[in-house]
Amino acid sequence: MKEAAGLRSSSNPHTLAAAAIAIGALAAISMAQGRQAGVVADLRGEQRVYPAPVNLKVLPKGSTGQQVAKIMKEWEGSLGVHCGSCHAEDREKTDQDGKPLLDFASDAKPMKTATRLMVAMTAWINQEHLAKMDNSGVPVTCGTCHRGHLEPEEFKPVTKGPAALVNSPQAPERDESRPQP
């Protein structure tokens, strides 16, 4: 992701402000859900308390460790990655098995920068476009495009069969009085 999927940072203050507002709104939703959940449980079902996060640039600075962990787990599932994909190892700190711990504050990995840009992009889409549409539905998230994969799979439209006829001139007239499947 050399250029973070083609995204470039913008110096337009209106775009940056809108992205910041949208990110704050998305984080507030996640944090509200996190407050309801309380302490985060790990994969074994054990409860875990997370330390206060540092070096937050996209999420609100007042986020708790539990709130950030919940958001990270959502992103992990949406992208099919693990913590080490974005977070560098701290070779000076190890766990009980001698394996290096992660330095969550470090910006050493380019993937972390790309992730921040992508989060800003989804927030911008939601704030500047979907929010202006009536009944826009579910907001855009990482999973909207990635669907559990680091690299989004190529979209291949249906070109044969009944689905291909929907917008073609050969499509039969729709009877609006009949219930649609």
Q: In sequence order, what DSSP letters do the residues of 26-75 get, joined into one string?
A: HHHHHHHHHHHH-SEE-TTS-EE-PPPP---SSS-TT--HHHHHHHHHHH
Q: 56: which 2 tokens?
A: 């937050």
Say whether pLDDT at 11 is over 70. no
Which pLDDT score, from 0 to 100, does residue 32 have? Answer: 44
**Rounded Cα–Cα distance for residues 181 and 174 (Å):** 12
pTM score: 0.62
Contact of 23 with 123, CB cutoff 8 Å: yes
Say whether pLDDT at 69 is over 80. yes
pLDDT, tens only, 106-131: 999 999 999 999 999 999 999 999 88
Contact of 52 with 59, CB cutoff 8 Å: no
Contacts of 10 (CB under 8 A, 6+ apart): 16
